[in-house]
Structure formats: C-alpha cells, structure tokens
A and B are shown apart, each in its own frame.
Chain A
Amino acid sequence: MTSPIERRAPWAFLAFLLMLLALGAWQWRNGAPLSTDILELVPGSSRDALQKSAEQRMQEPLNRELLVLVGYPERERAIAAAARLADAWRAGALFEKVQTGVQADLPALREQLLQGRLALLGATTRERLIDDPKAFIEQRVQQLFDPFAGFGLIANQQDWLGLAAAIAQQRPASANVQLDLGSGAFFAEADGQQWALLRARTRADAFDMNAPLEAARLVAEARAQVTADGGRLVAASGLLYAAAAQQQATREITWVGGGATVGALLLLLLAFRRVRVLLAFLPVVAALLAGCVACVALFGHINVLTLMLGSSLIGVASDYPLHYLSKSWGAATWRSWDAVRATLPGLSLSLATNLIGYLALACTPFPALTQVAVFSVAGLLAAYLCSICLLPALLNGLQLRPRRSLLSLARRLLAARAALLRRTGSWPLSLLVLAFCGIGLMRLEVHNDLRQWIGGSPQLLAEAKAVAKITGVQPTSQFFLVRGDDQTQLLERQATLAARLDRLVADGSLAGYQALPQLLATAEQQQRLRQALPALAQHWQPLIDLGIPRSALDDELRQLQALPVQDINTALAGPYGEPWRSLWLGASGNQVAALVSLRGLSDATLLAAQADGLEGVCLVDRLGELNRLFAATQVSASELKLLSCLLILGLLVFPFGLKGALRVVLLPLLAALCSLASLGWLGQPLTLFSLFGLLLVTAIGVDYAILMRERVGGSGASLLGVLLSALTTWLSFGLLALSSTPAVSNFGLAVGLGLFFASLFAPWAGHAHTDTSHAAEAGE
C-alpha cells in the first residue's frame, strides 16, 4: 500500500524536474553560458574603482589580442604571408582589427610633430636647449650635414632648429620589432629567421565561448598553411590559453564525469544485479542539472573550473540511493518506500552535514569556491529530493537480489577489525596513527600560486616564450598606477618614478617601461622651454653661415613661441601618441590617473620599493597580491573548518548525545588530519585547494560515521553501504586528481585521500559496547 504522500511526492518532484529542465534550456538558449576567465574566480581587488579600471585596461589586451609571428628565411615571403593571413582574417567575422604594420599617415604625423615641438620634445634635448643654447645650435649645424641624421619626415625649412626631427627620433624603439620601410610592415629578426608580425583584436562584443575556440582554430589553420609552405608560425594570446583551458576542461569533464558515471553504474549492477537499479543514477542527473541551473541563475554563467570540480558531485549524489539500496542486505524483503522511511533520518542528517560542509566553502572570500558551493548545495538538494520523492516510486515493486558475498565480505572485515582490536587493544593503533600524522605533517609544505589554477599547456608556454624572445617584448603583470590632482602633478609624479625606473633599466633588472613623461612635458616645462627660446637668437651665426636667412630663423622662433601649451589629451590624440594611449585613465572624481607599464622584469621585490615615499604612486601586483591572499585565506579556511565541525556537532547532539556526536565528528577530523599527513608523505604541497578539499572530507566523513552509527539493517549492511558510496565518491574525486590543472588535481587528491581514511575509520563510529555483537553477527 502506498500512502498519499508516496503517491503525490513523485509527481511533485517530476514537475520540479521539468521546471528545472525548462529553466536550463532557457539559460542555454544563446549557447553554453560557460566562462573560462580564471580571474573572475579570485577575490575582487581593493574597492578602489580606479585601480579596478586600471586592471581591466591592462587585462583587456590579454583577453582580446592575438599576436602572430610568421617566419621564413626571406623577409619578403614572411611579410607577404602575414599580409595574406591578415586579409583572410579581416574578411572573417572574429576580429575587429588586424594589423601587420603602420598605416602610413605621414601628413598627420608631420602636423602633430610640428604642433608639438615644445610639448613633445624629450627631456635631454629640452635641457640642452635651455642650459646651453650655443651647444644646441652647434649640434644642429652638425646634424644638417650628418648623412645619417635620419628620416626626412619634415622639411628643413619648416624645422630649422630640428625640434620636430628630434621628437621623431626619440620615439621609443619597440625592442626588436622594426619597420620595413618599403612595405610598412612590422618585422623582427631572430635565429636567422625573418618574422613578420600580425596583431589582431577580437570584436569587443565577442563575449561568447566561441571566440577563443575560433581564434585557436584560425591559428591552427594558419599554422598548417604556413608550415606546408616551409615557414613557421608562433602565436601568443590570452585567447589561446582560454581555448586550451576550455578544451582541457571539456576533455576532463568527459573523463571524470564519464569515468565516475560508468563506475557508479557498474557498481550498482554488480552489487544489486537488477537493471532497474540503474535508475538510482537519476539523482545524479538531477544534481548536475540543478547545480548548473543554480549557478547560471546566480552568477549569469558557470565557470569551467566550477564545472570540473562540480562534476565530482556525481560521487556524492549517488550516495543517497545507495544508502537505502544497501539496506536490502539487512532486510529479508526489501521494499523501496519502507527502506526510504527507515533511512530517512540518516539521509536527512547526511544532507544537513554535507550542506554545512559546502556552505562553509561559500563563506570564503573566493568566488571560485562560492560557485562550487552553490553548485553543490543546489545539486545535493536536488539529489536528496529525487532520492526520497521520485526514486522510491520508480523502484517500487523491485525485488533486489543483492550479492550476499559482499555482505559477508563486509562482515568479515568488521570481524577482522574486532579481532585486531582484541589482540592489540586501541592504544598501539592510535599511537601508530598519531606517529603517521606527526611525521607526515612535519614534511608538509604549504604552497600557493595563482598559476596552479591554470593548466599550462607546455606548447602554449613555449610559444609565448618564443614570441617574447623574437619581439623582445616581455610584458609583466605588475604595473604602477599614478594619480595626481591635475595633469601637471600627475606628469611630475610619473617623471619622479620614471627616474627611479631608469636606474633599474640601467642595471638590467628591468628591460623597459612606458610612461607619459616620455611623450609629453608638463605645462610648466613647456613654459620654461618657451621662455628659453629668445636666448637662441644670440647664437644664430653658425646657422646663418650655412646660408639660412636670419629672417627664417626669427620666423621659426616666433612660431615656436606661439605654440599653445598641450595637455595629455591633445598629445595622445595624434598618431605620434598612439603607443601611450592605453596608459591614460583620464579624470576620475577630482583626480587624474595614468599607468606606467613595465617590460621584462627580473626581480619583483625591487618594484615595490620604487613607489616608496612617492605620493600618489602605487604598484599594482595582482598576482603577488592574490598569492598573499591565498595564504591568508588558508587560515580563515581552517577556522571555517572548525566552525563547520562545531555546527555539525551541535546538529548531531540531538540524535546521538554529546559523546556519540563527538565520536561522529572527531573521526572525520582524524581522517582529514591523516590525509594532510599523507600529502606530506607523498611530497605533495598543501594548497588552498587541498585545504578546501579536506573541508569537504569532514562533511562527507561525518556522513559515513552517521551511517555506521545508525546501523539500520545491521553493522555489516551499514559498512557495505559506506564502502559502496565511498567507492563511487572516491572514483569521481580520484579521477579529478588526474586533472592537468594543478588546482583541480590537488583538490581531487586531498578529497580522495580523506575519503579513504574516512571510510577506514567509519566503523569506530559505532557504539563501543556493540563491538562484541558485531563479532557475533559476523559469525552467524
């Protein structure tokens, strides 16, 4: 007979499931709402809006720009191949801009140089003109005869004093990259190869998961073409990393998810020998669905890292049906609704402890773990509901024929444990465990680095290195953010910083930097230069001797004096300002701000010292900051772990009393300690992720201890239930340990180890006085 609840619950859950499906389908209407951006998973930086926009500014090219080098022994072939590639890519839809060289807008450049003769003039030339006008004129005379003075960009009669020519010369040379004068193409020379450069930028609105994959596909296609033609192609871009991460995640989710699924299904079949029992996998499907839907609903998308960690939920979600299925060993006749009713308190307690464990994850300041927690909490709730509402109805009338040999195995294990305890007593075993833990813990190393989050493909890293070597451009993730009350103060502060950085460049600890003072003088400096101009007239003679009319020189002087003071916006607007444009953040509140970007840094600690004592200057070192934050979070994670244990303890005092509850909580803690020690023995580092894994172990371990404590259907059946669920869970987390993303594999390893110890220690959760009855049970 079925009660009204038993009749209605399945339909109610089915309706809920359909609703989830509909919601999920709607969320995926525009393609998979997946994200690969690792940075969105780490805590947001300081509340400072300016710093945030600075970080975005520095980050943007990484996410949108693609740098490709096409190499041939002959430069013409390289440039032609890059040009062909650029044409093909321009015709496509992915990129908004594909650049292989300069757009030769020389008239605009000439105009800007002439207008900016005072504002853009470099410090060295400016100082010489002000301090020693005679030497300045002499040098100009020399230049006029110098066959190698350079580019004939500006006619001499427009620039007798050579100020515009001097500016054209001081434009920063970008490391190894040169301009092919004939074609206007960028190229670099390395290892006897001629490399043509191609820079592409994806459309700004390309926020879809396909942009990285599409970029990776285009690069692979281009590589195949160039290689077939006897050339070489290397590429570097954040897009390629994203694509690799996406592909790797897909691969690993398939393996981990597929492996865990196949394992769990096989186990169900082997243990219960009924095909219909495979329906017990339904809660897992419900769990994954609910997890995805909840994440997308809350965060707008789901990160691949979440999905990878979340796919291990398969193992936990399949525990619920296993708990009552395994009762078929204890009862003579197994009836689904009866079994559910008998195990309901235990199941609910398990759910509650699991939820506490995952919710503790959600309280950390790490969005990554918050996402995993949301995914898991929603998933577990769905799995639990599915297990108690829908599944019993589906399994109704099923006669289970569980393998008796498994039960006797479980009983033999319990008997062996009892026999061991009788022979040795508890103390030697406890001491052994303590020694194992002590030594292991001493060997444990703590290690945290954001790079663990990224499964670096060696090929991509090698290519990025090759690109950096060929172009000589090695961007660093650190940069300086400089603020000032006005543009003058900003430029002055940047200039002070630049002077310090010059020393680092001189001694080789920094390859170079880019800052606005390289572009533009302050209003006051421009003014000082203007005031120094009349003094030049006393030294005209050498120029007049060359045949230059005095009137022409005087005219030029008047022109120069009439040039207006330029501000940053004007200087950046022209083609000459292009390399500096991305550094300017503009006005924010009553301040203005700009960045100083760095290249080829060898010693990161030196940098922080450069900002010392400089007002309005701060070093933004996101990577370093995050790594420090990881370390700090480990402490708060440990506190959370203890707190979650206290909560679970409080929860369990009701059914088990204080002594029983302590036993049930301390065993998983011991298991966690043992897996920590095992990490030490294995020489594996303790990372933030392994710590969070252990947090989870406590929750799942409590679950096992409760099952053993409740002993529904006898100790043997309970142990079997524990072993079966441990096996499925272990399968999924163990598979995570094989991931090539260090963070994920660390997590999997820690949980896998913890589960092993948790199931090993689970029998101790039983009542001490019933140990003898176990032995009797085993012998029956």
Chain B
Amino acid sequence: MRRLLLATALSLLPALAQAFGLEQLAAQLGKPAVVRGEFVQQKFLRALEKPLTSRGEFVLAKGHGLLWLLKTPLQQDYRIDEQGIARREAGGWQAIPQRSASAQQNRLFLAVLGGDSSGLQRDFELALQGDAQNWQLTLTPRALLLKQIFNSIRIDGGALVQRIVLDETQGDRTELLLQNSVAADALSDREQHDFTD
C-alpha cells in the first residue's frame, strides 16, 4: 500500500524532470501548492472475486507532506512527512515504529517527496507516453529487490494524477483512483494543524 502512495507522490512532484516529456510533466504537476481530492483504493487479490475497496480523502501539500484520511470501511487517518509515518490515535498522532525494510520503503518515499529524483531513476526505468492532457507514466523496477516485489507501476493523468496501478509479482494488483482533485494555494487551518502538530 505504501508503494501506491509513493507512486502518487512521485507522480505529483517535479522530481521526474529528465527528458523533454518528463520535464514538462514535472512542471505541470509541481505547480499547485496544495492538492485535495478523494481516493478509491481497490485491491485485486488473486483469490477474491471482488476487490477490497476502501475510500477516503487526501491532502498533498508541497513542503509538508501527505494526509491520507481513510473513511470506509473503517476510519483511520495517516500522515506522512519528513519525520516518518504517523497514525492518528485517541491521544493524537502516533508515530509508527519504523522497521528495517518497511522503514526503507518509507525513506524512498520521503526522498521522492523531498524532490530527490536520483534514487528513483536509479531504481526504476521511467517511460512517458501521451500529451499534457492525457499522459501515462510507467515505472519498471530496475533494482533486484524491487523486481521481486513489483512488475510495474503505472500512473495516468491529465492536469493532475488520476489513476495509479501497481502490479505485484505475487499476482495481486492495486488500483488507486484519485477523483475530484482540486488544486489550491493554501492549507486550511485544520490541515495546517494536522501537519504541524
């Protein structure tokens, strides 16, 4: 699941500036200070007829991080920033203990959030198709460890990211739809509070 967010974040950032198309895409996605929207996450597991579906809202803020607010089937808020991942508990944000490999996944994600494209380009082949209104970016893992987990990550979008598909080697597939995304200039007070708390 983290990989999915990772893909979201990296596709929204100017980090991918590399070739002509990627540069343009990065500039386009990097423009808004804040992006708000709704998400639908569908996990297609080999053994299940229907996907595991969850919904919620997200707020991505340049320089702050990402709020991931899961609404159904259960309610849970997450926050990702430079400090790591936190989960909202009764008593406030609770940092999730970072353990070796999963902590590293998070680190890669944060490196991307921070605009560190070098790690990404080292670990993935990037391929961009389409135009500014309708593009498709495919990430194919290059590094040995990642290859054993993903087949590929595909990101579709226009002005903003619309769909992310993760193809896992184990046969599972996760689709993330980002709907009704709206770019904005500033965070609300509550969001500001969530990020700084």
Contacts and interface: CB of A to CB of B under 8 A. Distances in A.
Interface in A74-121: 74-76, 102, 104, 106
Contact of B106 (A148, A157, A171, A548): A148
A151 interface: yes
A104 B149 CA distance: 11
A104 B104 CA distance: 15
A181 B54 contact: no
Nearest to A555: B47
Given A74-B118, A182-B119, A184-B143, A152 B100 contact: no
Given A104-B144, A169-B102, A182-B145, A145 B48 contact: no
A547 B52 contact: yes
Contacts of B51: 547
Contacts of B74: 141-142, 145
Main SS class of interface, A: loop
A525 interface: no
A76 B106 CA distance: 17
A152 B172 contact: yes
6 contacts: A145-B70, A148-B80, A149-B1, A155-B46, A156-B45, A547-B51
Nearest to A154: B170
Interface stretch (B2-10, B16-24, B152-160, B189-197): B2-10
B85 interface: yes
A142 B168 CA distance: 21
A179 interface: yes
B107 interface: yes
A44 interface: no
Nearest to B172: A155
Given A171-B100, A179-B100, A182-B146, A148 B123 contact: no
Nearest to A184: B145
Given A76-B122, A149-B1, A173-B99, A104 B48 contact: no
Interface residues of B, number: 52
Given A155-B172, A157-B46, A145 B73 contact: yes
Given A148-B87, A149-B2, 8 more contacts: A148-B102, A150-B102, A152-B168, A155-B46, A179-B104, A182-B122, A182-B123, A547-B49
A179 B101 contact: yes
Contact of B105 (A76, A151, A170): A151
Contacts of A225: none
A150 B2 contact: yes
A151 B169 CA distance: 13
Contacts of A102: 145
B129 interface: no
Give the top 4 A-B pairs by smallest Cβ distance, nearest first.
A157-B47, A182-B123, A155-B170, A147-B1
A147 B96 CA distance: 12
A406 interface: no
A75 B119 contact: yes
Contacts of B134: none
A540 to B, nearest CB: 15
Contacts of B122: 76, 182-183
A180 interface: yes
Nearest to B150: A152
A291 B153 CA distance: 73
A254 interface: no
Contacts of A364: none
B119 A76 contact: yes
A194 B140 CA distance: 26
A178 interface: yes
A148 to B, nearest CB: 5
A178 B76 contact: no
Interface in A335-384: none
A270 interface: no
Contact of A548 (B3, B48, B170): B48
Contacts of A205: none
A297 interface: no
A547 B46 CA distance: 12
A144 B52 contact: yes
A104 B145 CA distance: 6
Interface of B: 1-5, 41, 43, 45-52, 54, 68, 70, 73-74, 76, 78, 80, 85, 87, 96, 98-108, 118-119, 122-123, 142-146, 148-149, 168, 170-172
A49 interface: no
B1 A157 contact: no
A184 B141 CA distance: 13
Contacts of B3: 152
A546 interface: yes
A603 interface: no
A104 B170 CA distance: 16
A345 B146 CA distance: 86
Interface in A175-213: 178-184
Contacts of A780: none
Interface in A29-82: 74-76
Interface string A131-151: 000000000011011111111
Nearest to A545: B73
B85 A148 contact: yes
A420 interface: no
Contacts of B145: 102, 104, 106, 181-184
A438 interface: no
A636 interface: no
B47 A148 contact: no
Contacts of A14: none
B52 A173 contact: no
Interface string A463-490: 0000000000000000000000000000
A147 B143 CA distance: 23
A147 B68 contact: yes
A168 B2 CA distance: 16
A404 B100 CA distance: 82
A674 to B, nearest CB: 63
A77 B47 CA distance: 43
A546 B72 CA distance: 12
Contacts of B43: 144, 156
Given A145-B73, A152-B3, A152-B168, A178 B100 contact: yes
A155 to B, nearest CB: 4
Given A148-B1, A174-B100, A547-B49, A183 B143 contact: yes
B43 to A, nearest CB: 8
Nearest to A110: B170
B52 A180 contact: no
Nearest to B48: A547
A623 interface: no
A144 B47 CA distance: 14
Contact of B2 (A74, A147, A169): A147
Contacts of B47: 156-157, 548-549, 552
B48 A178 contact: no
Nearest to B70: A145
Nearest to B123: A182
A82 to B, nearest CB: 15
A546 B49 CA distance: 11
A152 B147 CA distance: 12
Contacts of B142: 182
Contact of A182 (B52, B87, B108): B108
B101 A181 contact: yes
> Which of B48, B52, B101 has the most A CB atoms < 10 Å from its CB?
B101
B172 A156 contact: yes
Contacts of B68: 147
B100 A145 contact: no
> Which of A145, A157, A181 has the most B CB atoms < 10 Å from its CB?
A181
A188 B81 CA distance: 20
Given A145-B73, A174-B100, A548-B48, A181 B1 contact: no
Contacts of A169: 99, 102
